[in-house]
Amino acid sequence: MTLKDIPVGKSAKIKKVGGHGATKRRIMEMGVTRGTTVLVRKKAPLGDPIQLSLRGFELTIRKADAENILVDSL
């Protein structure tokens, strides 16, 4: 399951951050790393972008980036 599949208001634990090169590094530098618990706060009407709550702050990412993040739902 990927992060984009998690419904609004649900939490998930990150298993793996996929992607390549600069994109993967940028996502990981924002605090999205393996073992982190994230809460999906909001999604835009068409699903892009997605607002997350993790590590005590809010983060908004694109749906394309969320597709590269594998998670386990809680």
pLDDT digits (tens, 9 = 90+) for 2-60: 999 999 999 999 999 998 889 899 999 988 999 999 999 999 988 789 999 999 999 99
Say whether 24 sits in a helix, a strand or coil.
Answer: helix
Q: CA–CA separation, 15 vs 5, rounded Å?
A: 14
Helix count and strand count (H, E) for the chain? 2, 5
Contact (Cβ atoms closer than 8 angstroms) between residue 63 and residue 51: no
Give the pLDDT score at 46. Answer: 85
Name the pTM for this structure: 0.86
Model pLDDT, residue 20 = 87
- Contact (CB, 8 A) for 54 and 31: yes
- Binned at pLDDT 50, 70 and 90, residue 74 comes out as confident
